[in-house]
Amino acid sequence: MKTKLIAGILLLPVAALVTVVQLDQQSRISPSYAAVVPAGFSGSAARERSKMALQAGQPEIAVAQARQQIELRPMPAESLTVLALASLQNGDAETARAALEASSRRGWREPISQLASGQGALEQQQYEIASQRVVALLSTDNLTESALALLGELVTVPEGRQAMANRMASFGRWQDKTLVPASGVAAPDDWVATIVLAVDQGADLACSRMERLASRYERIDEGAAAEKISATACT
């Protein structure tokens, strides 16, 4: 009897620990649980508390919670982005930039960091990296308008056009659906030159989309651009 009692007493802390861990995990689905998870066990809960502090306009708390989450758990891109947003709201641009750069290296699923990384790469004339970020966003249909705007800036210089042409000549499904929308943000000469470069490198573009692009240029009195597109090989 005593043995069972002692065993039961010893198991109480384990049961409590399991409960806390379960609450931390559950906070990802139900953020309200984040408030009851102790600081030392707050992985997911700290991230949710940081998000709530951001929404409440409490940047110092948001930064502290984001840092805590990163200290306790391996750093997923979402956590780094939350830290970046909290740091920006708190006036710490240096930490925000570093967090966004780290987040962007962790995959294609964190659009804010991908966009920020692309803009930073373009500012530093790292055109291949900028083009990679543009494609990452367009491929996942994230922040499409912002991605197209970045594309429009990228193709204003020869190196940027070449970088985008390289991406367009690679395998992917984003190319065709980007042809016409990009013409709304990129200068006709720049976009047409990029497309011609891509086709010269083996890009396989759908004739139906190319025809729509040529028609759009005709409607806005860009006859020269329309002629070049019509004369460019497609499938």
For the stretch 101-150, pLDDT in tens is 676 666 545 687 788 778 878 888 889 989 988 998 999 888 899 999 99
Does residue 2 or residue 163 have the better pLDDT? 163
For the stretch 192-232, pLDDT in tens is 999 999 999 999 999 999 999 999 999 999 999 999 999 99
Domains located in the chain, CATH noted: 1-102 (1.25.40)
**CA 49 – CA 66 distance, rounded (Å):** 8
- Phi, psi values for residue 156, rounded to 5°: -80, -15
Spell out the residues 6+ positions from residue 229 whose beta carbon is closer than 8 angstroms to its own: 192, 195, 210, 213, 214, 217
